[in-house]
């Protein structure tokens, strides 16, 4: 297998690119309050433990089909949510369990959908990639790579049409970034000044293809330059950096200035999905990121340095595990949908 | 209590694998995310990560064991504070089916076995619910009939719906300032303004997605495709986002949107600009598909389509835009979706068609009448849901049927109609169903070849006479 080309945004060089900061000196990252840190820790832990449990249930055969885990990327959704207000909307692709939990959807409803039960958010008819909550302003959950980008642009269109100041977040990956409809969406968003933040979760691999092997331009924050859309690269493993970038982008959009691109540099510890043996990267690479940059560890360390005790933090983990275990329990005992549901929800 | 680690399924089809390597030893600390073992399946070698924390208590399946069945306990993990003495009390991790191991059974649940196993009993699928089509509204006696072109009927339908509901808007190429590529949206920009009549860039995939997203947010977009040939760029958004999302979301996320534009052959525009998409869209559950012929039907059905909370494909025809017909002068002339109309009653042979196919069908009926054959011509008007009842009632009367479409024969709508007639009226048929369709070629440019590629009145007459054995 050919070695990846050396490139400023390659796996080895990504940290360097961040330091360089496109030529400008980066301002210091604003600190979070203790309450914000605690909430971030809890929210990220909920996602982490939920995903671990989902992986386990998949291994037991309780979850079938597709299951794409967000482990390692938790700081992105959690940091972005901290900048939103009621009414703002979220849409993403199929690595979506973390987004749902961050939006406030119930763990048991998500887990029961993964196990295909009638208590799942979609009554068991959608599965991992197709859950929605109008109430929590979460618009899916989409299986076709890139589809969520035009759909998210449409959500922003509706906001502009209605004259409200809601912002839409459209999340997609480094792989989806090469889809044609992404650029069609960028063009319309800037042309019509739509309030949409494009959050590119660059975890360096589109399934088995690294960014250096798939993308002629690996600085994804620049992908909107052709359409005059501003963009920034963000350390997606640091929830403080994510929140700071989110605040800036949200302010831009709410002011009616049009779309904004945020490239979140991140990493997934597991394979692309449950059936991916992930042979395209070394165990050492995964371990290094986990050791040096784990988003949850970063927050824990700051809290410990601020005189919280291990006991306090373990307590949070225990509470989160209880939620997740209760969800898994529900998800495995709730009945499957009634046979008659085969025919429902085709038409309104 | 100590936790049992089970042999995981590392792909949806894996039933057993080889435990090739242990990466932790008994007594070692385990943290969440640590790789503890390697497993070989027929497809790949995968790593097993721990999800629980504690100490590796006992390895139950030694390294190198082949053909370990999924869900077999392979190790136990001791939680903080437990010791080897607790190993005897190990509780199994939650599992659905009975494992080969000695693990005590979990409380029996009512839930059926895990999805992978394909279910114990083969349940017969419940029957599909039947929906009855509503009849056309009564046009009050004495109502003035206004002769207008189909182009005008479409424009009036959209204008009326946009006046009625501020959430309705139209987007597409040249719909605003150009006044419509085919002048269908003429005057709408002037009345409703640029916020509601929107010129898009030439980016069908993107703007179809924007329309669907706006519909998911509760607006009511009308998305115009300059022709449905260009909708192939956007078809993923139409099918996978618009049509299927209500179902996938268990009823939560509907999409009230109309995709409209010219479909099928025009004149001399050749292969890439002449395809008939009736068969493609009418196959999809979740879509409604409308293909009118008369001016009144164009108006009444487009209004219904815009009001319908489901995604609707509204197939027009460029050759019909200039045709005129009487339209009732009513404040709100709305025709229910899903009902066919008997345009010309007859007793000898049923001729079923829609959209521009009706042109051939009606002319053929006139020709046949000269020879004493009275054709009953049915205008389907809606392709999905298909009004089977009207077709079957007619065939039970005539015993003979001919379908007429401009699209290709293989897997066409005519094939579907023929199948349904066979299913519901087999004993009433005096002859096989005949299908008249476009020829199995891409549309040629030369005028003579184009004529040959399309159906003709003569072909419909010939088919009708054949099924009448004349």
Here the ipTM equals 0.91
Judge if B359 and B434 occupy the same domain.
Answer: yes
Cis status of the peptide bond prior to A151, with omega within 30 of 0: no
**Cα(B207)–Cα(B234) distance, integer angstroms:** 8
Domain final residue pick, B67, B93, B119? B93
Question: Considering only CB atoms, which chain A residues are within 8 Å of B253?
Answer: 132, 134, 139-140
Residue B111 lies in a domain: no
Judge if B414 and B286 occupy the same domain.
Answer: no
Q: Domain range for residue B87?
A: 3-93
Judge if B158 and B206 occupy the same domain.
Answer: yes
Residue B457 lies in a domain: yes
A272 touches chain B (CB under 8 A): no
A317 touches chain B (CB under 8 A): no
| Order of all β-strands in the sheet with A168-173 | A89-91, A168-173, A196-202, A260-265, A231-235
Smallest CA-to-CA distance from B297 within B316, B318, B276 is with: B316
Judge if B293 and B158 occupy the same domain.
Answer: yes
Question: Considering only CB atoms, which chain A residues are within 8 Å of B129?
Answer: 343
Judge if B161 and B289 occupy the same domain.
Answer: yes
Residue B94 has pLDDT above 90, yes or no: no
Residue B334 lies in a domain: no
Distance from CA of B431 to the nearest CA of A (A): 35
* Chain A (229-258) residues lying within 8 Å, Cβ to Cβ, of chain B: none
Judge if B260 and B186 occupy the same domain.
Answer: yes
**Cα(B346)–Cα(B378) distance, integer angstroms:** 10
| Residues whose CB is less than 8 angstroms from the CB of residue B469 and which lie 6 or more positions away in sequence, other chains included | B431
CB contact under 8 A, A132 and B252: yes
A152 touches chain B (CB under 8 A): yes
Q: Which of B48, B212, B248 sits opposite A154 (nearest CB)?
A: B212
Residue B44 lies in a domain: yes
Question: Considering only CB atoms, which chain A residues are within 8 Å of B117?
Answer: 61
CB contact under 8 A, B71 and A61: yes
* Chain A (122-141) residues lying within 8 Å, Cβ to Cβ, of chain B: 122-126, 130-134, 139-140
Question: Considering only CB atoms, which chain B residues are within 8 Å of A140?
Answer: 245, 249, 253
Distance from CA of A266 to the nearest CA of B (A): 17
What per-residue confidence (pLDDT) applies to A267? 97
Residue B27: exposed, middle, or buried by beta-carbon count in 10 A (0-12, 13-18, 19+)? exposed
Quick check: B115 and A115 in contact, CB under 8 A?
yes
Q: In Å, how far from its chain's centre is CA A205?
A: 15
Question: Considering only CB atoms, which chain B residues are within 8 Å of A343?
Answer: 126, 128-129
Question: Considering only CB atoms, which chain A residues are within 8 Å of B111?
Answer: 117, 332-336
Q: What digits encode the pLDDT tens for the residues B30-84?
A: 888 788 999 887 777 888 888 788 899 999 999 999 999 988 999 999 987 787 7
What per-residue confidence (pLDDT) applies to B121? 53
Judge if B310 and B357 occupy the same domain.
Answer: no
List domains and CATH numbers for chain A.
30-269+278-332 (3.40.50.970)
Q: In Å, how far from its chain's centre is CA A8?
A: 24
The mean pLDDT value for B391-404 works out to 98
Residue B314 lies in a domain: yes
Residue A4: exposed, middle, or buried by beta-carbon count in 10 A (0-12, 13-18, 19+)? middle
CB contact under 8 A, A348 and B70: no
Q: What digits encode the pLDDT tens for the residues A202-217?
A: 999 999 999 999 999 9
Judge if B318 and B372 occupy the same domain.
Answer: no
Residue B16 lies in a domain: yes
Residue B123 lies in a domain: no
Q: How many domains does chain B have?
A: 3
**In 3-state terms, what secondary structure has residue B38?**
strand
The active-site residue, picked from B273, B323, B374, B462, is B273
Smallest CA-to-CA distance from B24 within B51, B52, B58, B67 is with: B58
| Order of all β-strands in the sheet with B16-22 | B45-49, B35-40, B16-22, B65-69
Residue A19 has pLDDT above 70, yes or no: no
Judge if B189 and B230 occupy the same domain.
Answer: yes
CB contact under 8 A, A52 and B51: yes
Query: Considering only alpha carbons, which residue of chain B is nearest residue A287?
Result: B34
Candidates A178, A181, A287, partner chain B, best to mutate (most B CBs within 10 A)? A181
Residue B346 lies in a domain: yes
Pairing of strands B73-78, B54-59: antiparallel
CATH at B284: 3.40.50.970
Q: What digits encode the pLDDT tens for the residues B229-279?
A: 999 999 999 999 999 999 999 999 999 999 999 999 999 999 999 999 999
What per-residue confidence (pLDDT) applies to B89? 57
A61 touches chain B (CB under 8 A): yes
- Is B273 labeled as catalytic in the residue annotation? yes
pTM: 0.89
Residue B450: exposed, middle, or buried by beta-carbon count in 10 A (0-12, 13-18, 19+)? middle
A150 touches chain B (CB under 8 A): yes
Instruction: Report the run of H or E that residue B421 belongs to, with start and end.
Output: helix B413-425
Query: Considering only alpha carbons, which residue of chain A is nearest residue B114?
Result: A62
Residue B3 has pLDDT above 90, yes or no: no
- Is B204 labeled as catalytic in the residue annotation? yes
What per-residue confidence (pLDDT) applies to B9? 83
Judge if B319 and B192 occupy the same domain.
Answer: yes
Judge if B253 and B307 occupy the same domain.
Answer: yes
What per-residue confidence (pLDDT) applies to A281? 94
CATH at B66: 2.40.50.100
CATH at B449: 3.40.50.920
Judge if B196 and B298 occupy the same domain.
Answer: yes
CB contact under 8 A, B250 and A187: no
Residue A15 has pLDDT above 80, yes or no: no
Residue A113 has pLDDT above 80, yes or no: yes
Residue B100 has pLDDT above 60, yes or no: no
**Cα(B406)–Cα(B316) distance, integer angstroms:** 13
Distance from CA of A20 to the nearest CA of B (A): 32
């Amino acid at each position: 297998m050919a070695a990846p080309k050396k490139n400023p945004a390659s796996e080895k060089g990504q940290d360097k690119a961040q330091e360089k900061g496109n030529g400008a000196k980066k301002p210091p990252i604003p600190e979070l309050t203790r309450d914000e840190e605690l909430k971030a820790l809890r929210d990220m832990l909920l996602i982490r433990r939920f995903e671990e449990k989902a992986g386990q249930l998949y291994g037991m055969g309780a979850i079938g089909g597709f299951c794409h885990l967000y482990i390692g990327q938790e700081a992105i959704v959690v940091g972005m949510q901290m900048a939103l207000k009621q009414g703002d909307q979220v849409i993403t692709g199929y690595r979506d369990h973390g987004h749902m939990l961050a939006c406030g959807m119930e763990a048991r409803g998500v887990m029961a959908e993964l196990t295909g039960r009638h208590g799942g958010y979609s009554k068991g008819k959608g599965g991992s990639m197709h859950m929605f909550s109008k109430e929590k302003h979460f618009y899916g959950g989409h299986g076709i790579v890139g589809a969520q980008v035009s759909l998210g642009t449409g959500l922003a269109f509706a906001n502009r049409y209605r004259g409200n100041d809601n912002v839409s977040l459209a999340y997609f990956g480094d792989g989806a970034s090469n889809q044609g409809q992404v650029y069609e969406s960028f063009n319309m968003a800037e042309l019509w000044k739509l309030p949409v933040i494009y959050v590119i979760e660059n975890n360096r691999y589109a399934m088995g293809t690294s960014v250096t092997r798939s993308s002629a331009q690996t600085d994804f924050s620049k992908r909107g330059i052709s359409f005059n859309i501003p963009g920034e690269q963000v350390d997606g493993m640091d929830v403080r950096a994510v929140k700071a970038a989110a605040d800036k982008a949200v302010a831009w959009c709410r002011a009616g200035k049009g779309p904004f691109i945020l490239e979140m540099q991140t990493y997934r510890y597991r394979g692309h999905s449950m059936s991916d043996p992930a042979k395209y990267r070394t165990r050492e690479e995964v371990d290094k990121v986990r050791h040096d940059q784990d988003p949850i560890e970063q927050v824990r360390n700051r809290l410990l340095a601020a005189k919280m005790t291990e006991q306090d933090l373990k307590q949070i983990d225990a509470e989160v595990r209880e939620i997740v275990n209760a969800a898994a329990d529900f998800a495995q005992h709730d009945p499957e949908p009634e046979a008659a549901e085969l025919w429902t929800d085709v038409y309104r | 209590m100590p936790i049992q680690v089970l042999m995981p399924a590392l792909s949806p089809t894996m039933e057993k694998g080889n435990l090739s390597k242990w990466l932790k030893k008994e007594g070692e600390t385990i943290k969440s995310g640590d790789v503890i073992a390697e497993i070989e399946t027929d497809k790949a070698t995968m790593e097993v990560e721990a999800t629980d924390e504690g100490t590796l208590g006992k390895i139950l399946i030694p390294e190198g064991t082949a053909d370990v069945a999924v869900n077999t306990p392979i190790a136990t993990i001791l939680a903080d504070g437990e010791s080897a003495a607790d190993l005897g009390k190990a509780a199994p991790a939650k599992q659905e089916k009975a494992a080969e191991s000695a693990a005590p059974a979990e409380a029996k649940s009512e839930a059926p076995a895990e999805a992978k196993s394909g279910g114990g009993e083969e349940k017969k699928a419940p029957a599909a619910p039947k929906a009855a089509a509503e009849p056309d509204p009564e046009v009050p006696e004495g109502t003035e009939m206004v002769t207008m072109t189909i182009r005008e009927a479409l424009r009036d339908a959209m204008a009326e719906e946009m006046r009625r509901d501020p959430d309705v808007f139209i987007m597409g190429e040249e719909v605003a300032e150009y006044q419509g590529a085919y002048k269908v949206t003429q005057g709408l920009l002037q009345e409703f303004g640029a916020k509601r009549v929107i010129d898009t860039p030439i980016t069908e995939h993107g703007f179809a997605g924007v329309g669907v997203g706006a519909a998911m947010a509760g607006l009511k977009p009308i998305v115009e495709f300059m022709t449905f040939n260009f909708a192939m760029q956007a078809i993923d958004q139409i099918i996978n986002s618009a049509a299927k999302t209500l179902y996938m979301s268990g009823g939560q996320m509907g999409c009230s949107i109309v995709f409209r534009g010219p479909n099928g052959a025009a004149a001399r525009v050749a292969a890439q600009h002449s395809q008939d998409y009736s068969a493609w869209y009418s196959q999809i559950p979740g879509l409604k598909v409308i293909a009118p012929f008369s001016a009144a039907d164009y108006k009444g059905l487009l209004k219904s389509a815009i009001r319908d909370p489901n995604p609707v494909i509204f197939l027009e025809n460029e050759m019909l835009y200039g045709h005129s017909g009487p339209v009732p002068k009513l404040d709100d002339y709305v025709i229910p979706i899903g009902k066919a109309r008997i345009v010309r009653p007859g007793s000898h042979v049923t001729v079923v068609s829609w959209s521009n196919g009706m042109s051939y069908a009606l002319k053929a009926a006139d020709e046949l009448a000269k020879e004493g054959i009275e054709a009953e011509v049915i205008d389907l008007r809606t392709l999905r849901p298909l009004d089977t009842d009207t077709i079957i009632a007619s065939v039970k009367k005539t015993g003979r049927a001919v379908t007429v479409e401009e699209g290709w024969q293989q897997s066409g709508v005519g094939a579907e109609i023929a199948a349904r007639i066979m299913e519901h009226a087999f004993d009433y048929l005096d002859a096989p169903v005949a299908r008249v369709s476009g020829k199995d070629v891409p549309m040629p440019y030369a005028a003579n070849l184009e004529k040959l590629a399309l159906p003709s009145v003569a072909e419909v007459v010939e088919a009708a006479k054949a099924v009448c054995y004349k």
